[in-house]
Amino acid sequence: MAIEISKVYAVWLREVKRFTNSKSRMIGSLGMPLLFLIALGGGFSAMVPGFNYQAFILPGILAMTILFTSVFSGVSIIWDREFGFLKEMLAAPASRETIVIGRTLGGATTAILQGTIILVLGIFVTGTPIPTIESLAAIFALMIIFSCFLVAIGIAFASVVQEVETFQLIMNLLIMPLFFLSNALFPIDKMPGWLRAVSVFNPISYAVDGLRGLLINASQFGIMFDFGVSIAALIISITVATYLFSKTSI
């Protein structure tokens, strides 16, 4: 088991270094979330006196940051396949489950780094009270679960898609509706009936709701329920990603 852990670490480290060595990617991925938080949040807050809309959408913007960074980390599998590195990795004495876990943790780590920056800046910009140590621990736990779930989705699609352009197109068609059909920007109880029905089946809604409950005490489902749904979604996505990656062609 110690050998497997060392292999997971090696895969994890490669994913993290690939991200941290790309300064433009690190900075660029923060642009859209900050724009949403400052422009959209500030605009709606000004329209509704007495309601801090920026603080309300901060958990949603945090989820957006994790969503984009996590899902698109799967593109590294396609690059590795094109340049032959994936073949070498699969020929190494490491199980495909080990590779999936290492890549998942690596992608999640980069997403957490981005999310932490948005969290700190968001608390400062919105005037949200600084969470307690216990709340911060729960926030990071939920961020880890959520990011691993999303990275696994990216790995699953990258395992069956052969081209980078196709992968990016599919991800854009998937993640934008997932984000906007959640409670990231609007409370579920204020949504039209059809949108509310879609939102309650969207895993992103539960991650956002949990973060919202921990940051501004405004959970609608209950934090423990949010954790339960998020963990269930993670287990399903990891299982599917591992299966599809085990069937991937070189």
Average pLDDT of each block of 10 consecutive residues along the chain (250 residues)? 69 82 70 79 64 86 91 82 71 77 90 93 89 94 96 91 86 88 87 87 95 93 96 96 82
Q: How far apart are CA 40 and CA 223, in angstroms?
A: 26
Q: Which domain holds residue 107?
A: 2-246
Query: In the chain, which residue ranges form alpha helices assigned H by DSSP?
Result: 2-20, 23-28, 31-35, 41-47, 53-71, 75-83, 85-91, 96-126, 133-160, 164-180, 193-199, 203-216, 223-246
What is the reported pLDDT for 49? 60
Q: How far apart are CA 69 and CA 98, in angstroms?
A: 21
What is the reported pLDDT for 85? 66
Q: How far apart are CA 174 and CA 33, in angstroms?
A: 18
In the chain, % of residues over pLDDT 70 = 88
Q: What is the pLDDT of residues 125-172, one digit of tens each?
A: 888 889 999 999 999 999 999 999 999 999 999 888 888 888 888 888
Number of domains in the chain: 1
